[in-house]
Amino acid sequence: MSGLRAWLADKLPAWIFLALLLSVWEWVVARQWVASYLLPSPRQILHTTLELWPEIAAATLSTAQSIAWGLGLSVICGVTLALLFFAIPLARRAILPFCIFFQTVPIISIAPLLVIWFGFGQPTVKASAFIVSLFPILANTLTGLQETDPHLKELFRLYKPSPWQLVAKLQIPSAIPYILMGVKISAGLAVIGAIVGEFIAGGGLGSLIDAARTQQRVDLVFSGVLMSSALALLLVFFIEVISRILLRGRPYLRKS
């Protein structure tokens, strides 16, 4: 019972605020203080979403698949590169600055290149999601490997482990909270990368939103934006559940 009360105390204010916001939004549009073709009411957006649900659902599924591919590849490559940079400091000093520079390049500016390289459709969208979501996982994993508790390292060395045993049995487990935090940051970026890729390469919610823009269907634009936000929230929730499972019974690894 106390757990339910704590959950309500934590979540209820946000839901109350959302309800008030939607009520004010509906009232403002109903009073015609803002033209409905500029700002459709929540009821109109819901009606459009239900009316065009098969099309919207198909676009959402396509975007979700691209996000999953891009983020999954980012996790694999980011953790692998972090281990490489941690094991070989010379590689870190030689390559990491270029990774940081590449991260500063706006994805919208290189998306046309991705279309030339990978063609239209999901390959470009997956590549776009991968590029923007790679660096947070790489940086957080590397930080986690470097910040292993020195007292634990000294204790572990009493058993005379090999360097790879030290990494595999101590430093990687200690870096799990950092890795999960990097994945959580990258989840939102992967959604952004996928939508941007779809603006250029077509398909998914990005194409749906772009087509609705050209048709002046603001209600459909809002519907696509809300579905992309729902994807991001669902992904973050899923990662949070995985984090709780992996860190259960190991509170000393939790990071606030």
End-to-end CA distance of the chain: 25
Q: Give pTM, 2 decimals.
A: 0.84
SS3 19: helix
| Residue 73, helix vs strand vs coil | helix
Tens of pLDDT along the chain (256 residues)?
566 666 666 667 778 888 898 888 888 888 888 877 788 888 889 999 999 899 999 999 999 999 999 999 999 999 999 988 888 888 888 888 887 777 777 888 888 888 888 888 889 999 999 999 999 999 999 888 887 766 666 666 666 666 676 677 777 888 888 999 999 999 989 999 999 999 888 888 999 998 988 888 898 999 999 999 999 989 988 888 888 887 775 544 544 4
pLDDT value at residue 161: 63
- For 91-108, b/e burial (b = at least 16 CB within 10 A) is ebeeebeebeeebeeebe
Alpha-helix residue ranges (DSSP H) falling in 147-171: 150-157, 163-166
What is the distance between the alpha carbons of residues 137 and 120, in angstroms, rounded to a whole number?
27
Give, for 220, the enclosing helix (H) or strand (E). Answer: helix 218-247
